[in-house]
Structure 1
């Protein structure tokens, strides 16, 4: 396996615009690792100069944990912040992402091309699901996150304390997905809205000529 002492010839990120792979893109920038974007998401291959075959890694959490362990140990907090870090590593791709996927399903049902006489039915299903489940649960999650940022150790600023961690990076996609679904988000949840997950990814754009497009740039309803 590669370690931080190995010489790396290339890291390739297979990604899609407005996809979860964008938090891996952010992580690669934080680690100052050169990256060549290509293909589907999120998968990376790491080609060491002394290795015959590249190491292939899939799944967001696995990718993040591997890269942080080998190239960015400063992104893993110590002491009491560590428990928050482990929690958010699972929360981002678990409870929170599951809710965002249901919201996406609701939007897909509402906007699906169906016969005109079926449209009231599909719209009704989507509206009921949004009103009865997605909207109230999203409010609960965002209120929780607002409180977590307000009570984070050492004065906060990040989800696990006063320094960036891998968990903050993993939270970027579900948070961007949430922003587009809540009216007046910045007023209702100012700490979440101004959280460090809004850092722009500039180095990638400059190196590749590709534009980083936040998922929140595309408006969707509940």
Structure 2
């Protein structure tokens, strides 16, 4: 039975890059439907809501090549879980050990459930502090966001990064079982953002730093990167 047509609804500067990375690693054919953020860094919700009511990217549209019937996948962790379950027929990113396979599933939920929320808060705070707001309002914004960051989100990001630094060190440079899995690809983007936002420094986290460097040398990563560069974006 032939695989469905895979269509990636991709948004620039979003977590959608990881989906391309995943599909490239599995050597799956797919199409990209490109969307651009507006001047306020917002996604074009009206266009995206035509695909799914939530209007969020990334989204995967699967179209049966015979019947034309379509299925839409949303939420990054679920997208990864579905693709790995249905399309990784050669076990490229799976682990045959049941305990290790279960741990991969854990990380597919962990990335969006534990790591991403405080990181997203820090991103929003960073954008708020850089916004063209007149003084003294800008001072108040900086003071409030700085207070929330110092008492919650920044500390929580450090807690998560310390945990991952240890886990990668225990698993021969990967998250699970000393080999590349879908969890590594899913977690790559938020870990890159931690360093890009200056929430952590690479010299303090050598395991994570090498982990990201090793991922960036993969042919699948380079191929996904070329495709988004052709669309006029870094990610």
Name the TM-score, length of structure 1 as normaliser.
0.82
CA distance in 2, matches of 1:114, 1:182: 22
Q: Deviations along 1:17-70, whole A, 9 cap, x unmatched?
A: 221111111111011112221135211112232122222222212211111111
Equivalence for 1:20: 15
Change in CA separation of 1:149 and 1:54 when aligned onto 2, cut-off 3 Å: same
2:2 aligned partner: 6
The equivalences for 1:34-183 within 5 A come to 34-40=29-35, 41-73=57-89, 74=91, 75-77=93-95, 78-152=97-171, 156-182=172-198
With over 3 angstroms needed to count, the CA separation of the structure-2 counterparts of 1:205 and 1:137, relative to structure 1, is closer
1:179 and 1:193 in contact (8 A); partners too: no
Check conservation: 2:8, 2:31, Cα contact below 8 A. Answer: yes
- In the alignment, structure 2 segments of 5+ residues that lack a partner are 36-56
Separation (CA, whole Å) in 1 of partners of 2:232 and 2:27: 18
Cα distance in 2 for residues equivalent to 1:205 and 1:160: 25
1:77-115 CA-partner distances (Å, limit 9, x unpaired)? 223312321221111001100111111121122123323
Tell me, what secondary structure is at the counterpart of 1:171?
A: helix
Provide closer, same or farther for how the CA distance between residues 68 and 183 of structure 1 changes in structure 2, counting only shifts above 3 A. Answer: closer
Following superposition, the deviation at residue 206 of structure 1 comes to: 5.1
Following the alignment from structure 1 to structure 2, what is the Cα–Cα distance between the partners of residues 157 and 171?
A: 13
Aligned residues: 206
Q: CA deviation at 1:124?
A: 0.9
In the superposition, the TM-score normalised over structure 2's length comes to: 0.78
Q: Which runs of 5+ in 1 are unaligned?
A: 215-222
Matched position secondary structure for 1:164:
coil
The equivalent residue for 1:192 is 208
Residue 203 (structure 1) aligns with: 223
1:137 deviates by: 2.1
Partner-residue secondary structure (3-state), 1:128? helix
**Structure 1 CA distance for aligned equivalents of residues 161 and 28 of structure 2:** 32
CA pair 207-172 structure 1, distance change in 2 beyond 3 A: closer
Q: Is 110-119 or 15-24 further displaced after alignment?
A: 110-119
Q: CA 1:138/1:206 → structure 2, altered by over 3 Å: closer, same or farther?
A: closer
Runs of 4+ with deviation above 6 angstroms = none
Mapped to 1, the partners of 2:121 and 2:100 lie a distance apart of 30
Instruction: Classify the secondary structure of the residue corresponding to 2:34.
Output: coil
